[in-house]
Amino acid sequence: MTNLNNNVAGVDTDFDVVVVGAGFAGMYMLYRLRQQGMRVRVLEAGGSVGGTWYWNRYPGARVDTETMFYSYQFSDELQQEWEWTQRYPSQQELHAYAKHVADRFDLWPDMQFDSPVEKTTWSEDRQSWTIETTDGALITSQYCVMATGCLSAVNTPKYKGLEDFSGSVYHTARWPEEGVDFSGLRVAVIGTGSSGVQSIPVIAEQAAQLTVFQRTGNYVIPAHNRALDPEEVAAIKADYPALRAKASASFSGNYFPVGGQSAMAVSEEERNREYESRWQEGGLAFMAAYADFMTSEEANETASEFIRDKIRGIVTDPATAERLAPKQLFMCKRLCVGTDYYETYNRDNVSLVDVSETVIDEILPEGVRVGETVYEVDAIVLATGFDAMTGALKRIDIRGVESVSLRDLWEDGPRAYLGLAISKFPNMFIITGPGSPSVLTNMIPSIEQHVDWISDCLTHMRINGVSRIEPELDAQEEWVAHVNEIADLSMRSTCSSWYLGSNVDGKPRIFMPYIGGFPAYVRKCNEVVEAGYAGFAFR
């Protein structure tokens, strides 16, 4: 073990902070900590920066949030100089942006790639973390920041026979860097969440035959992706701080018009005009048309039925249209944004198999068996998503005070104070952890808010000569109770989604993100600081 004998606040460690993950959270954390003069090492499992935008290289992968606002705002020079080309840029463009950020701020020397972290162990004697990578290397650090991402631990269903399939199997979130050529092949796509919705139309254009296996039909709003107009970009850049502040003041941290009234407060004609206008505009703004989609079934049904009607109008085969039409509440699952998604089912080489009741029984060497039918294919694409929010943390063997295991502590669901830190895990922070708004918001502003909070906290500790921080159990339990209580007020917690962990066999059913909105959450974090870091114990 190297020991660089760096003495910070009386603690001998190789580094002041180890950051796990070099996605947008890990990169900005590194930038901030280095500005504070800290010695930092970032450990990243992948081969480059970008996190989500490194791994999700599947055909058609692009962000579903308008990128002029889904981007860093911590550096005005960066946001002024970087030129986005599209309203919803591709994975390649987002990855290029991540690399540009690493170049521009000279982040590379402090980041180590192809270094998955296997274990992190707290030592009360040494007051430091020992972090172990899969190749057995050990480093010590006074603090450990988990920037491991909310949607990074891949969910691969345990289909009987999958390993004996005679063709190739791909997961959308682990796509080969060199790409895949499906020309002339019969392809199965399993899963119709965002990754399936984005990849299906692109794969359909190349494959000889595409069979989509759908367990749940999703609501898909057209993206209407387009090249950004230089005048529009210039206008946003001229007013960036004010527009960013406006976005941060909105419930989801997004920059789009939010309808504050009930869907039932207006006439059917007016409602449908509003839905039509948002459908034509495209994107996630559809979900902000009215305020009560998640509290009134009646309001929800109006939006659901509008979209089902759109599907019936687009898909020419009525039986396929009915299979595609979502049955669950609108917005209960994450809303999808797509390009030619429903239109793709009008192609002669595309068919849809409903596996909601008759499920996929097994994978045979020649294909996918559903009940008595075998669908012969040459390649299988698993667009089956993630073990969201807790998966990336639980896959690391994290040991806190007295060697307590995070996996054991979170067996019945995650418990974290503000989604930022965990009792019994001193000097460890999580960026956008469970119990914070995270995936219900525009992720990059949420990441920046957490990174800023953590950086300020470490500065506070240094100024005050303290070297150990840990949430008090009471404060944590109170926050977790609050997170659950407000989740129960929303219909979002009533159906199956990865927000609740219900996509992963055996995962406890707990609504994991904080549903009270970005502004309320930021206020709470600030109040905690103003009250002298209320709920945290320092030593």
Nearer Cβ to ligand NA7 (362/408): 362
In the list 209, 216, 248, 449, the residue contacting ligand NA7 (rule: CB under 6 A) is 216
What is the rounded CA–CA span in Å between residue 190 and residue 178? 22
Amino acid of residue 278: R
The H-or-E segment that residue 350 falls in is strand 350-354
In the list 26, 60, 89, 196, the residue contacting ligand NA7 (rule: CB under 6 A) is 196
209-214/360-364 β-pairing: unpaired
In the list 62, 95, 171, 215, the residue contacting ligand NA7 (rule: CB under 6 A) is 215
Cβ contact 131:117 at 8 Å: yes
Closest residue (Cβ) to ligand NA7?
193
Nearer Cβ to ligand NA7 (128/384): 384
Nearer Cβ to ligand NA7 (133/155): 155
Query: Which part of the chain contacts ligand NA7 (CB under 6 A), choosing from 184-192, 241-249, 404-412, 415-423?
Result: 184-192
What is the rounded CA–CA span in Å between residue 213 and residue 354? 6
Query: Which part of the chain contacts ligand NA7 (CB under 6 A), choosing from 186-194, 274-282, 423-431, 507-515?
Result: 186-194
Query: Which part of the chain contacts ligand NA7 (CB under 6 A), choosing from 191-199, 464-472, 477-485, 510-518?
Result: 191-199
Cβ contact 143:428 at 8 Å: yes
Nearer Cβ to ligand NA7 (333/394): 333
138-146/128-133 β-pairing: antiparallel
In the list 57, 62, 308, 334, the residue contacting ligand NA7 (rule: CB under 6 A) is 334
In the list 190, 299, 393, 420, the residue contacting ligand NA7 (rule: CB under 6 A) is 190
In the list 13, 65, 90, 195, the residue contacting ligand NA7 (rule: CB under 6 A) is 195
Maximum distance among all alpha carbons in the chain? 71
| Two structure tokens written together for 185 | 């092949």
**Distance of closest approach, residue 122 Cβ to ligand NA7, in angstroms:** 32
168-171/379-382 β-pairing: parallel
CA angle 162, 167, 173 (to 5 degrees): 65
Query: Which part of the chain contacts ligand NA7 (CB under 6 A), choosing from 11-19, 188-196, 263-271, 279-287?
Result: 188-196
What is the rounded CA–CA span in Å between residue 413 and residue 87? 37
- Asked whether position 157 contacts ligand NA7 by CB under 6 A, the answer is yes
Site for ligand NA7 in 464-523 (CB under 6 A): 498, 503
The CA–CA distances, whole Å, from 401 to 257, 380, 458 equal 47, 44, 20
The count of chain residues that interact with ligand NA7, using the rule CB under 6 A, is 21
What is the rounded CA–CA span in Å between residue 247 and residue 250? 5
In the list 13, 128, 148, 192, the residue contacting ligand NA7 (rule: CB under 6 A) is 192
| Two structure tokens written together for 358 | 């008759």
- Asked whether position 385 contacts ligand NA7 by CB under 6 A, the answer is yes
- Asked whether position 68 contacts ligand NA7 by CB under 6 A, the answer is no
Nearer Cβ to ligand NA7 (127/192): 192
What is the rounded CA–CA span in Å between residue 254 and residue 243? 10
Sign of CA dihedral 217, 218, 219, 221: negative
Residues that bind ligand NA7 (CB under 6 A): 151, 157, 172, 190-196, 215-216, 334, 355, 360, 383-386, 498, 503
